[in-house]
Amino acid sequence: MKLIAPLIVAGLMAAFSFSAVANEAAPAKYKPDLAKGEASFGAVCAACHGPDGNSILPIYPKLAQQHPEYLVKQLTEFKAGKRANPIMLGFASTLSEEDMKNIAYWVSGKTSKPGFSKDKDLVTLGERIYRGGIADRQVPACAGCHSPNGAGIPAQYPRLAGQNAEYAQAQLTAFRDGVRMNSIQMTQVAAKLNDREIKAVSDYIAGLH
């Protein structure tokens, strides 16, 4: 018993020491200034993406409820020219890293308005590709990364549910044609899709919720 007690104490001290070091090493979670984010969004983003991140113009993406880490990554890559878009380059160039985070966290807290599929003839094909992929061409199911309901995976894969079909179609086409080059994974997937399949998947995504 005399030997066991010191060992227990030593173990507890070691565990406490390790925990303290781990906590000290862990990066502090960013605390956004949502008031500044709202102001910046209103000044820079709202005209195209809507006052609450729900764009009513189908060529522009809905940003409401999108994962903030994904939005920051896209803004950073627009600013650096890694994602080519002259309009977004102009806007992103005016933003600091702090501005980007404030905007992203503010708009991610807004609720995305549900969309809907328009083409009944294509939606079945879109669902099949989204949920099961295309085996004979080694096209993976979209749901594997973006989740069955389109919610995505925070900090890794964007939310797709309810996204404007026209925008989704334009981005898939841009990936396929080598216009958008900031995701090797998406370039490889889109390269195997034809126009009809891209339109079908985009239309199905619009109706996800």
Same CATH fold assignment for domains 34-108 and 120-206: yes
Residue 28: what pLDDT? 59
What is the pTM (predicted TM-score) of this model? Answer: 0.85
Q: What is the model's pLDDT at position 75?
A: 98
State which CATH number among 3.40.50.880, 1.10.760.10, 3.20.20.140, 3.30.499.10 fits the domain covering 120-206: 1.10.760.10
Q: Give residue limits of the domains in the chain.
A: 34-108, 120-206
pLDDT along the chain (209 residues), means of 10: 41 40 51 97 98 97 98 98 96 98 98 94 96 97 98 95 98 98 97 98 97
- As given in the structure block, the two tokens for residue 160 are 């797709």
In the prediction, which pLDDT does 20 show?
A: 41
CATH of domain 34-108: 1.10.760.10
What's CA 156's distance to the chain center, in Å? 7
